[in-house]
Structure 1
Amino acid sequence: MKISFKILALGALVLSATGCENFIDINENPNAATAVTPDAILAQALAATAANYTGGPGVAGGQNYNSYTSFAAGYWGKSGGVSGFGEERTYNYSTSYNATLFVNTYDNLNDYQLIQQNAALYPNHAAIARIMKAYNFLLLVDEWGDIPYTQALQGATETTPAYDDDVAIYADLLVQLTGAIADINAVATDATARTVGTEDIVFNGNMTKWKQFANSLKLRILMRQSQTPNASPSVTTQLLALQTAPDGFITADVVAQPGYAQSSNQQNPFYTRYGLTAAGTAAGDRAFILPTNYIINQYKDNNDPRLTQLYGQGTKLVNDVATPGYYGTDLGEANPPAVTGNNISSRFLLNGGLLKGASAPTVLMLLSEQLFLEAEAETRGLFGGGESAAKQDYLDGIKASFMQFYRTAGTDIRPARTGDVPATATIAGAVASTPGVAQYNTYITANATNPLVNYDLAPTNGSSLRKQSVIIYQKYLAENTIASTEAWADFRRTGQPKFTVSREAATPGRLPKRLLYPLSEINTNNDNLPQGVDQYTPVFWDVVD
């Protein structure tokens, strides 16, 4: 992490606290820094997290968590109209694959570290930074396992940090999230504390929502810990306590909205890469990515209307007749179909559920994930409420997915900022006319006898894992592309769903379990690198296979 330590030692980026363009542009000159305050850093730090999670071409050559995991989790394949994508197709990773993502995440963590250093004057900003550090460290652990943690972010005082055990990091992330909630509660009684305003591009300074987000991240962490053989009794205790935690969990999608607009360098980064440019022409990677036949068939075979909301139709020659339909590629296929000519594959639908528009926000956590996590905890007896509560949260998770995919860019906005259209993503606020609700009702009705949809018909896998598979399956459909990182983690954690990989893809016929440590660490911190680790070495919670 040579770059990260250098940046922290030089000081913070010179950042303005006003202006939508500056909220998005984080590429200022670090050598020009003279003074910086947390309210001048927060917006750009949050925008950088969003870009790292689902970024565009301007973010380290497009390296980001969701694009990488969309291939790994079976959602994406490459088209025949482009070369490259060798590691995505073969699942044979190298030390350069997503190496910049590792460095960029630590650079982003440095931003939050700088905010925390001013906690005395900006306690709410520091609490937000503490939560977002946990969010980012969680991403790093889930993709690389052991990472620098306790000695990280120390600037020039520690340029070769030790690697911490992933189990220990997970445990401390829970401590940090609990501490952040306590920090926010303490600030609430301090009339002199600085408030958080529009620089909070996620919740607009609503600290209750930040506490809910922290609780939801704790649930994500605890559920990954819960199936490990060495899961301590405290995991179950913490889960039971978390169910009734003050302030509860998120009630809507958590999104970052720094002011994306149809203008050069201001568009939603995912839309810029896979949709249209600001000039209205096809984005550079639009023709390079195809949905897999597997994910298309999951929607098609279950009469799922989300299929038509996510992808446009292609054409295929059938008896010399160009026949429209939804066509993809096989995961890892050596000779995938093209996007021109007579056989044309499906692509992301413009202004649909994935490519909502240039001004759409970036999702940091889905409401559907939260609800499916609750359903899983309930059906496994880790939360109270039993099967009836699990079924309701399961159905609400599906509904939240439909609402997310069917919302337009104009209504998919974080609430409470002057001039914004209020979001309508809460389950409690859903009515018959809410986008996606009618389609959800059609889906549930059409699948009354389908055990992959009807919770009551889902198979049981023993008392400790009752109906977990159908919950994970529907969660997988909900997280397609916009939260592939969580779907990939769930696949490694549970072995579900069983998506198909071409025999040409995996070497030696296995899917990888992690990314390799980047060459930058090998060159600058090799003495501390964990030994005997390859791409098939699981992180600690990957215990199913």
Structure 2
Amino acid sequence: MKRLLISASFLLVLAGSFSSCKKTIEGDYLNPELTTTGDLSKLLSGMYLNKRIHPSYWDYTTFLLPTLGAYSQLSVNAPATQEYVPSMTYNQNRWDDYYSGSVPSSGSSYDYNYNGPGIMSTYREMQTTYAALSATEQAKQYVYLACAQVVLADQTAQMVDLWGDIPFSQAGSLNTSSRSVSYAKFDDAAGLYDTLIANLKTLNTFFDTVSLSTEVSSNLQKQDILLGGSLTLWRRYVNSLRFRLLMRISYQNTSEAQTEVTAMLADPTTYPMITDNTMNVTLKESPTTLKSDLLSAFTANPYAPAYLLDTLMAANNDPRTAVLWDSVRGQAYHGFPTNGTVSDYDNGGWATFDSATFMYNYNVPGVLFTAAEVSFLTAEANERWGAGSTSAATAYANGINQSVAFYYGINQSKILSAGTWASLASPSQASIDAYIAGSNIAYSGTQAHKLALIGTQNWLNFFILQSGQAWAELRRTKYPALTFPTASYGDAPQPPTRLLYPTTESEYNASNYATVSSKDTRTTKIFWDVR
């Protein structure tokens, strides 16, 4: 926590101009380290540029592909004795990026693949700035804080999903009005989820009823590089996120989840959600200032997993196969087998991430929420509880259609760093329908089989762009039923069920760490992981 408390005294805000290439990053976004006057709108803009929100080489190379992707069997690590032991250094980086962010070393320029603002430190700075405003200005400008609360809720839930109990309510004290140094306690994970779920319901009401001044509305449209200042889209994001969190706890607290989800799905006017790809919450790139330079990340972990590609996709004529993967020199698609050896890995010959869609694409978006996820969660809620007016079968098919369109959209909006690949034409509806009706994909059978179909398609849709969500849902639902090879390292023969706390917690926040130390094992389950 020492790093959290000290580093949180500064705030990084970085971003490019997404409306005009003539503007400079430094001029558009506020760096509180260089000014004593905060600006809520610019602080909000900076929050989006956390390198765990926008696609960064560092996140993909050190964390998403080798850890979350590999533990979800959406990417492949080379076989190794300790292949299920994640790097504590890279875990520390992920922890720090939530709390304090990172700055370039002295004399170095900003590189968005390595540097970015902290989520918590940005929000604490916004709280301090907001508190200094007059009551009149607070009423006018609260919308910026409300948007930040949604992003904070999303990112905080992801931290809980990785570690369990985390410092939250007292974290980032140096960015509050007191500016006092204190060591942050660990908040209970289940209680923190409850708080987030309740706050999101309040935010839905706020976005529904708030009336913005012309000045604030115009400024929000400019500075909100995520949703363009649309309160309608923010409301859909809020309710979709709340839906996700309720379903995440739905096996641990079925009563609350069923009651709240049933109410939401029964009243889409009060609780509108993301139901179309035009409503997706994605951070779009501006390749002159912010670009998805991920080639080195994908070439470091290039191979498709065999179960995902061979068993689920190629064998069933999944229309997403061509847009997600490159086969080897026109051969049949083959992914790296779970029992593959080091020699097999080194010799290659396995399908890799698609060159145009991912490897050479500067325009891979940061993905926070998609319509497909809402559809698959809707299918699950209807199958389990009869919630909502959309049948589980219809919602399931909707999710697949939306997922196909989403990934082809990434390919068709590509900006290539090299190469001349033509855009892939979207599959015909007939081919998608045939896939959905296929014997291994069709929505039929027992309830357990249907839930497995839903969970598997949700996992596939998350893919590597949302591998953190994939790992969380895999642990929550146990779908798909994956088999991992047993590593020879006796302390970690299988993937963990959570990440270990960074060593800075036990070293610098010892008294608070002591309250959670008994939970700090790789086999401790997150509170919602009860199946």
- Shorter-chain TM-score category? 0.7 to 0.9
| Cα distance in 2 between the residues matched to 1:2 and 1:441 | 58
Bigger CA drift: 102-111 or 232-241?
232-241
Counterpart among 37, 40, 43 of residue 42 in structure 2: 40
| Cα distance in 2 between the residues matched to 1:286 and 1:25 | 35
* TM-superposition CA deviations, 1:159-214 (whole Å, max 9, x none): 31111111100000012212222333343266775541222111100011001101
* Cα displacement (A) at 1:43: 2.1
| Cα distance in 2 between the residues matched to 1:219 and 1:459 | 25
Counterpart among 430, 441, 459 of residue 453 in structure 1: 441
* TM-superposition CA deviations, 1:475-519 (whole Å, max 9, x none): 122221112211111110111112221123775543311111001
Identity %: 22
* Cα displacement (A) at 1:405: 1.4
Give runs of aligned pairs for residues 127-526 of structure 1, distance below 5 A: 127-155=146-174, 156-188=179-211, 193=216, 195=218, 196-228=220-252, 231=253, 233-243=255-265, 244-245=267-268, 246-250=270-274, 251-252=276-277, 253-261=280-288, 266-268=290-292, 272-273=293-294, 275=295, 283=296, 285-297=298-310, 298-314=312-328, 324-331=331-338, 333-335=340-342, 337-338=344-345, 343-352=348-357, 354-355=358-359, 357-381=361-385, 383-385=387-389, 389-408=391-410, 411=413, 436-438=426-428, 441-446=430-435, 448-450=437-439, 452-455=440-443, 457-461=444-448, 467-504=450-487, 507=490, 509-526=493-510
CA RMSD, 1 decimal: 3.2
Q: Which residue of 1 aligns with 2:110?
A: none
Task: Give secondary structure in 2 for the equivalent of 1:305.
Answer: coil
| Cα distance in 1 between the residues matched to 2:287 and 2:272 | 30
| Cα distance in 2 between the residues matched to 1:37 and 1:459 | 55
Q: Which residue of 2 aligns with 1:539?
A: 526
1:454 maps to amino acid: A
| Cα distance in 2 between the residues matched to 1:527 and 1:53 | 31
2:211 maps to amino acid: A
| Cα distance in 2 between the residues matched to 1:527 and 1:485 | 30
Are 2:97 and 1:104 equivalent residues in the alignment? yes
| Cα distance in 1 between the residues matched to 2:452 and 2:246 | 18
* TM-superposition CA deviations, 1:451-474 (whole Å, max 9, x none): x3111x23323xxxx721110111
Going from structure 1 to structure 2, the CA distance change for 1:213 and 1:527 (only over 3 Å counts) comes to same
Instruction: Normalising by structure 1, report the TM-score.
Output: 0.79
Contact (CA 8 Å) 2:30, 2:42: kept in 1 or not? no
Task: Give secondary structure in 1 for the equivalent of 2:344.
Answer: coil
| Cα distance in 1 between the residues matched to 2:399 and 2:11 | 43
Going from structure 1 to structure 2, the CA distance change for 1:225 and 1:300 (only over 3 Å counts) comes to same
| Cα distance in 2 between the residues matched to 1:412 and 1:202 | 19
Going from structure 1 to structure 2, the CA distance change for 1:114 and 1:15 (only over 3 Å counts) comes to farther
* Cα displacement (A) at 1:305: 2.8
Give runs of aligned pairs for residues 116-127 of structure 1, distance below 5 A: 116-119=127-130, 120=138, 121-127=140-146
Going from structure 1 to structure 2, the CA distance change for 1:360 and 1:194 (only over 3 Å counts) comes to same
Bigger CA drift: 189-198 or 362-371?
189-198
Task: Give secondary structure in 2 for the equivalent of 1:9.
Answer: coil
Going from structure 1 to structure 2, the CA distance change for 1:288 and 1:174 (only over 3 Å counts) comes to closer
Going from structure 1 to structure 2, the CA distance change for 1:238 and 1:349 (only over 3 Å counts) comes to same
Going from structure 1 to structure 2, the CA distance change for 1:528 and 1:187 (only over 3 Å counts) comes to same
* TM-superposition CA deviations, 1:11-45 (whole Å, max 9, x none): 66588878668559999976423323022222221
| Cα distance in 2 between the residues matched to 1:185 and 1:485 | 30
Contact (CA 8 Å) 1:7, 1:30: kept in 2 or not? no
Contact (CA 8 Å) 1:166, 1:540: kept in 2 or not? yes
Going from structure 1 to structure 2, the CA distance change for 1:73 and 1:54 (only over 3 Å counts) comes to farther
Going from structure 1 to structure 2, the CA distance change for 1:154 and 1:182 (only over 3 Å counts) comes to farther
1:394 maps to amino acid: Y
| Cα distance in 2 between the residues matched to 1:328 and 1:206 | 42
Contact (CA 8 Å) 1:43, 1:201: kept in 2 or not? yes
| Cα distance in 2 between the residues matched to 1:15 and 1:476 | 31
| Cα distance in 2 between the residues matched to 1:137 and 1:68 | 19
Which protein has the bigger helix share? 2
Going from structure 1 to structure 2, the CA distance change for 1:201 and 1:491 (only over 3 Å counts) comes to same
Contact (CA 8 Å) 1:26, 1:44: kept in 2 or not? no
* Cα displacement (A) at 1:435: 5.7
Contact (CA 8 Å) 2:362, 2:414: kept in 1 or not? no
Contact (CA 8 Å) 1:124, 1:194: kept in 2 or not? no
Going from structure 1 to structure 2, the CA distance change for 1:506 and 1:488 (only over 3 Å counts) comes to farther
2:163 maps to amino acid: W
Task: Give secondary structure in 1 for the equivalent of 2:495.
Answer: coil
Q: Which residue of 2 aligns with 1:431?
A: none
Task: Give secondary structure in 2 for the equivalent of 1:286.
Answer: helix
* Cα displacement (A) at 1:47: 2.1
2:497 maps to amino acid: K
Contact (CA 8 Å) 1:17, 1:41: kept in 2 or not? no
Task: Give secondary structure in 2 for the equivalent of 1:314.
Answer: coil
Unmatched tracts of structure 1, length 5 or more = 276-282, 316-322, 414-433
| Cα distance in 2 between the residues matched to 1:74 and 1:287 | 16
| Cα distance in 2 between the residues matched to 1:310 and 1:191 | 43
* Cα displacement (A) at 1:108: 1.9
* Cα displacement (A) at 1:5: 2.8
2:495 maps to amino acid: L
1:543 maps to amino acid: V
